[in-house]
Amino acid sequence: MNNQICQSKLTQLKLFKSTSVSFLTNSLLFIIVLCLSLLSEITYAKPGYSADTIKLVYGPFNCSLSVDALETYANTGEITQELRLYTKFLDEDTLVQLRDWLQKRFNSNHVKLSRFTNTPQGEKLLKELGQVVQTHSERNGFYALRSALVEAAAQPEGWTIIDAIRQFPTDSLQINTKDLFQLKDFWQESSQVF
């Protein structure tokens, strides 16, 4: 009888041991898979935001324009239906200037541009431009502009305004249209920098 009890206890112990080992093995495997999943999430770069919409703001009024509509106009001269809503307020000379401005290719070294944007003169220029090009309502676009310009300038074939807009680190950028003509002055003054 004692022998049977001992046999029974040994069988239970073996069963417990194999169940425990199986549980530990499965738990360890689960933890390894979980860690690898988290590691892959952390190490693989994911695309960040990039502006695909431009919000034009004038006081309490605002409207949106897709970057694609501007890019189509820059590349082909075609005024899409979406862009037509805005261009009907512009004369022919202004439209030609807009297209030339959108097509202008800047050749600048992104490292030098980054260094310049960290100088007092570069920061002043970007802060002034950031009053017009904003990340959100009443929020200066200084840091987003710095990031977008440096990223765009990293393209070996040069960059355009459209490229810089696409590098803007939010899903849209806001243009304070009351101060829009400052952009023209900004690019004329700083075209030799970029």
Assess whether 71 and 163 both reside in one domain. yes
Assess whether 72 and 154 both reside in one domain. yes
Instruction: State the average pLDDT for the chain.
Output: 77
Neighbours of 167 (CB within 10 A): 23
Percent of the chain past pLDDT 90, that is, above it, reads 40
Predicted confidence band of residue 37 (pLDDT cuts 50, 70, 90): very low
Assess whether 24 and 79 both reside in one domain. no
pLDDT tens digit sequence for 62-100: 889 999 999 999 999 999 999 998 888 888 998 999 899
Q: What mean pLDDT do residues 26-35 have?
A: 42
The count of domains in the chain is: 2
Assess whether 15 and 59 both reside in one domain. no
φ/ψ of residue 52, rounded to 5: -120, 0
Predicted confidence band of residue 137 (pLDDT cuts 50, 70, 90): confident
pLDDT tens digit sequence for 145-193: 999 999 999 999 999 999 999 999 988 889 888 777 666 666 566 655 5
Assess whether 139 and 86 both reside in one domain. yes
Assess whether 41 and 13 both reside in one domain. yes
Assess whether 87 and 36 both reside in one domain. no
Whether residue 104 has pLDDT greater than 80: yes
Query: What order do you get walking across the sheet with 139-140 strand by strand?
Result: 61-66, 53-58, 172-176, 133-136, 139-140
Assess whether 23 and 57 both reside in one domain. no
Assess whether 114 and 132 both reside in one domain. yes
Q: ∠154-159-163 over CA atoms, to 5°?
A: 95
Contact call for residues 182 and 132 (beta carbons, < 8 A):
yes
Whether residue 144 has pLDDT greater than 70: yes
Assess whether 160 and 85 both reside in one domain. yes
Q: How far apart are CA 114 and CA 68, in angstroms?
A: 27
Assess whether 41 and 69 both reside in one domain. no
Assess whether 109 and 42 both reside in one domain. no
Question: Which of 16-20, 58-62, 137-141 bottoms out in mean pLDDT, i.e. has the lowest?
Answer: 16-20
End-to-end CA distance of the chain: 95
Domain around 11: 1-46
Whether residue 39 has pLDDT greater than 50: no
